Amino acid sequence: MASLVSPSTPMLQAFQSLPKIRIKRFKHHSRCLRDFAIWLIHLLLFSSSCKCSLHPANDRSETGPFVGLSPWSGAMAEWTPAPPFKDHQALSPSSLAGYPFNDVCQWFIDRADLIFVVFDPTKLDVGLELEMLFRQLKGRESQIRIILNKADSLATQELMRVYGALFWSLAPLINVTEPPRVYVSSFWPMEYQAETHRDLFSKEEISLLEDLNQVIENRLENKIAFIRQHAIRVRIHALLVDRYLQTYKDKMTFFSDGELVFRDIVEDPDKFYIFKTILAKTNVSKFDLPNREAYKDFFGVNPIHSFKLLAQQCSYMGGCFLEKIERAITHELPDLLGSIGLGKKASTLSCDTTGCGETPKNRYKKH
């Protein structure tokens, strides 16, 4: 059997560094930005949390990634064929179970990065259950991987016949130009049977594990990009709130009505160049600026006098929250991408390729 292809060490280091940057840079800053920023950070923290199963000593309720399956949990546990597994996971047989099998499958399909469909050489027939499942997979053909298991139990000629029969059975179900990837091997912890294609099966198994490893790396890349995008939104929101507050303080006098002054600012922020001032700052795009109308609702819930200027939130020991977020956006998160090989610099072309050692000739000059 082929050894497990583990994720690269830089990728694991990047994954471990992600929560440190996220919590240290964003969680404290959310307390200063009130509801709007807290909502962004909560979404950021929730979406990047680890997915795991717990088995504590005492019974307790946990809101985990499988909470969406709770409506069918009782029926799934009753139909579990292995009693010892009931304390750990809810495994289930086919659609004959006492719960909506296709609804449960759809729940997993909507959250899957890869979808494996496993076939035994003796069970290649396509029934109603499998046909309904492939209907649910419509539009996700690029995520489907076919596994032909127990391949070492067949002779070479029989294996070729089964491989062809598998594609013949699946052809009506997958209407795409490029066929799905098929892995042919025996996926269990035992040695391959004698006088079989050991090298082929081993390479197929390694290829499958590398495919899984690539999905993990891509998922981590998307996670870092997602966190960075939310950090940019939090930064812009902080700058906008700070600008609203600074404008409010500049326009206030001893005899002014604070509510009327701020209402004028909120109703027409362009009159006070609030958004243009933020747009003039470094690394701020007009496409990242939120809707002006959104801040009418935001300040309707959060009074302007409940905020502090960003300059007042800096300390000698802790530094400035905004500087920490900017450092995470411009350096720490991009460095994480680079550490897992996703932020590669363009390779330098050699002189053998470009001919840089030769003097270029002017083709328009008359000789």
List, for residues 178-219, the tens digit of each pLDDT value: 888 899 998 888 888 888 888 898 999 999 999 888 888 888
Task: Kindly report, as residue ranges, where domains of CATH 1.10.268.20 are found in the chain.
Answer: 220-343
| Paired tokens of 293 | 């109308």
With pLDDT > 90 as the criterion, what percentage of the chain qualifies? 8
CA distance 41 to 48: 11
Report the pLDDT value the prediction gives residue 73, as an integer from 0 to 100.
62
Residue with tokens 């390479």: 203
CA distance 26 to 37: 9
pLDDT in tens, 302-336: 988 889 898 888 888 878 888 888 899 988 888 88
Report the pLDDT value the prediction gives residue 245, as an integer from 0 to 100.
92
Residue 30 has pLDDT above 80, yes or no: no
Question: Which amino acid, residue 91?
Answer: L
pLDDT in tens, 71-81: 766 665 554 55
Mean residue pLDDT across the chain: 74
Question: Would you say 100 and 74 are in contact if contact means Cβ atoms under 8 Å apart?
Answer: no
Report the pLDDT value the prediction gives residue 237, as an integer from 0 to 100.
92
Residue 325 CB neighbour total at 10 angstroms: 20
CA distance 150 to 162: 11
Burial of 111 (0-12, 13-18, 19+ CB in 10 A): exposed
The beta strands (E) that lie in 120-248 are given as 144-148, 181-184
Q: Domain 220-343 carries which CATH code? A: 1.10.268.20
Question: Would you say 236 and 289 are in contact if contact means Cβ atoms under 8 Å apart?
Answer: yes
Task: Kindly report, as residue ranges, where domains of CATH 3.40.50.300 are found in the chain.
Answer: 99-196
Domain covering 99-196, topology = Rossmann fold (3.40.50)
Report the pLDDT value the prediction gives residue 360, as an integer from 0 to 100.
46
Q: What are phi and psi of 296, to 5 degrees?
A: -65, -45
- Nearest Cα residue to 119 out of 154, 71, 78: 154
Residue 96 CB neighbour total at 10 angstroms: 9
CA distance 297 to 34: 13
